[in-house]
Each structure stands twice: as C-alpha cells, then as structure tokens.
Amino acid sequence: MRSFIIILCCVVFVTASLSTDGLLRAVIDLCAFVLLLYSLLGMKSSNKTDDVEQ
C-alpha cells in the first residue's frame, strides 16, 4: 500500500513540475524530495519498531 502511495505522489509531482516553471517548479521538486525521504525513512523506522515489538 505504501509503495502505491509513493508512486502516486511521484506521478503527481512530476505532472505538476512539468506544467510549471521557475520558483514554483523548484518548490514542487523540493516537496517531492522531502516526501520521498520521509516515506523511505518512515518505512525503515516502522520496520525496526515492528521487530522490537515482536
């Protein structure tokens, strides 16, 4: 489920990035990068907590 959300967000951000330019495009790209980092780091930390709870 989480991988589907990541792919969907990537598609949305690429589409928005292609339809804009300048500062707005840079902000969209920065948001996409932050979202991907957050989702990847969130996956790793949630896996670690699952291991601890078991």
| Digit-coded pLDDT (tens) for 13-50 | 888 878 888 898 888 888 888 888 888 887 766 665 55
Rama region for 27: left / alpha / beta (φ>0; ψ in -120 to 50; rest)? alpha
Q: Answer with the residue of higher pLDDT: 34 or 5.
A: 34
User: What pLDDT shows up at residue 48?
Assistant: 59
Neighbours of 28 (CB within 10 A): 19
Q: Which residues contact 10 (CB under 8 A, 6 or more apart)?
A: 32, 36
User: Where do runs of H (alpha helix) occur along 1-54?
Assistant: 2-18, 23-53
Cα–Cα distance for residue pair 42/53, rounded to 1 Å: 16
What SS3 class is residue 19?
A: coil
